[in-house]
Amino acid sequence: MRRLFVIVILIAGIVLTLSAQYQDRFKNTWIEPGSGVTLPEFDAFDSVDGTVGVLNASGPVSTEGNPFFTALGTNGRACVNCHQPTYGMSVSTSGLVERWRTTEGKDPVFAAFDGSNCPGLPQDQEKSHSLLLKRGLFRIPLSWPPKNADGSPKPVEFTIEVVRDPTGCNTSPQYGLKSADPTISVYRRPRPAANLKYVTSGGRPIVLKTGMLADLDPETGNPVGMNLMTDAREPSLKTQAVSAIMGHEQAHEAPSRQQIEKIVEFESQVYVAQQAHIFGGPLAVAGGPPALGVAALRDRKAGVLGDNDYDPVFGLFTAWKGNDYYRASVARGADIFMFRQFWLRDATHINSIGLGNPLKRTCATCHNAQMTGQDLSAGWVDVGTTNYPTWTDPSTESSELPVFKITCNRDADPHPYLGRVIYTTDPGRALISGRCVDVGSIVMQQLRGLSARAPYFANGSAKTLREVVDFYDRRFDMKLTDQEKEDLINFLGAL
């Protein structure tokens, strides 16, 4: 017994030593709007597994007067409130909970408009911000029906009813579906404002998944990749910045062209990736896997399709197939991600586009864009995270999220696998396209810096990478062993 106690103490000592080597727990990491700090060219911050690296490719960045770090609206928020470097240019629930405690809920990130479950709730109570504090979700109010660029309503192939409304916003007479300005509120994680040259690449005239024309950049007229937002509603970084300032920051007047260009300039040069592991040490090392670390993201070309035979999505991990436990585990996880086949089934915009159902492929079939693991084509798919019966919320009675009933018109193409009546916590792309087949389709996120920005999925339902892996193992009957799950988690955590 005494020997066991000594061993436990020794292990704890090693963990603390390694934590101190790769983390600075007393570092002031939350950047407030207007603080005027200067960001270094490279910085490293705590993550669950070690440190996440943040690289400003243009060199040190002064935040003084920079519109990304300046409140341009009426609620005190700037872009940085929801895109903090320490959390991989996003936010994490651990950071948000700490921020609530530090500011007694008064930080602008908790602004009533979308930092609470609904603006009409008492804002000084934690329970009014439960979705943000527990899941990292911001309210996304979307006009219904959706509108074209000229303001005219789009044709819609379905009706939508509110079945359950735990936040009260969708049935609110002021903010809801039957208000004077009909609005549907869904709740989503903020995407990282980093590695964006990869996220915005891949524009093609035709969306391969639908056969329809891709959206166009209103400034250049060129087709866009449509991977920027959870529902692909914004075509470019510029339109997204304007929308965020007018919405999330509640500005009364549009930002100037110079302000938008400055925001896009900052966003386009910042890169984020896991940089070190608490046991594995530095990840970007000579002779190691070529895609790891922030410098690789800066230096590689965007818009390249991974070829898993010769040039995989995240490169080859052959150099790590040795005796080091952690690195060998990551290498095995990389092989699972890139080469382990399983049956993909009943996933809209994967199985429904003529490739077969079921379809025997790998993780990298859909996560195919080199360096980020998004889909090089417009990446919205319905893998079932928001639609019953495979959704990640337990039931209609206990869901923390609103539940909607979608009834598709008789003359519309039905959802390929769920028919014409669908229960969902987030209709996803369908709220923008108005199409029944798009219900529940969500645009894939990039897979870099994951350990800095838990929880996961657009609805924040997976608290850990283990829960992400468990969902896919269950959803597609991958039959992963516990060791294989650990290897895949270690691989994802190294990105």
Q: What is Dmax (Cα atoms) for the chain?
A: 75
Q: Which of 10-19, 287-296, 339-348, 356-365 has the lowest mean pLDDT?
A: 10-19
Cα distance between residue 24 and residue 301, in whole Å: 32
Tell me the mean pLDDT in the region 419-434.
97
Q: Determine the average pLDDT of the residues in 349-354.
A: 94
pLDDT on residue 67: 98
Q: What is the pLDDT of residue 11?
A: 36
Question: Mean per-residue pLDDT for 168-189?
Answer: 97
Q: What number of residues does the chain have?
A: 495
Using one digit for the tens of pLDDT, what is the confidence trace for 100-147?
999 999 999 999 999 999 999 999 999 999 999 999 999 999 999 999
Range(s) within the chain of domains with CATH label 1.10.760.10: 298-493
Burial of 62 (0-12, 13-18, 19+ CB in 10 A): exposed
First-residue to last-residue Cα distance in the chain: 39
Band of residue 311 on the pLDDT scale cut at 50, 70, 90: confident
Q: What pLDDT, in 10s, does the model give residues 371-399?
A: 999 999 998 999 999 999 999 987 766 78
Which residue spans within 50-180 are E strands per DSSP? 50-56, 61-62, 138-143, 158-164
pLDDT of 484 over the 90 cut: yes
27 pLDDT band, cuts 50/70/90, is low
In this prediction, residues 58-73 reach a mean pLDDT of: 98
pLDDT reported for residue 21: 36
Q: How confident is the model at residue 232 (pLDDT cuts 50, 70, 90)?
A: very high
Which CATH fold topology does 298-493 show? Cytochrome Bc1 Complex; Chain D, domain 2 (1.10.760)
Q: What is the predicted pLDDT for the residue at 150?
A: 84
pLDDT at 14: 35
pLDDT over 70, % of the chain: 94
- Do 392 and 356 meet the contact criterion of CB atoms below 8 Å apart? no
Q: Which amino acid is at 168?
A: G
**Is the pLDDT reported for residue 369 higher than 70?**
yes
The pLDDT of 335-343, averaged and rounded, is 96
Mean residue pLDDT of the chain comes to 92
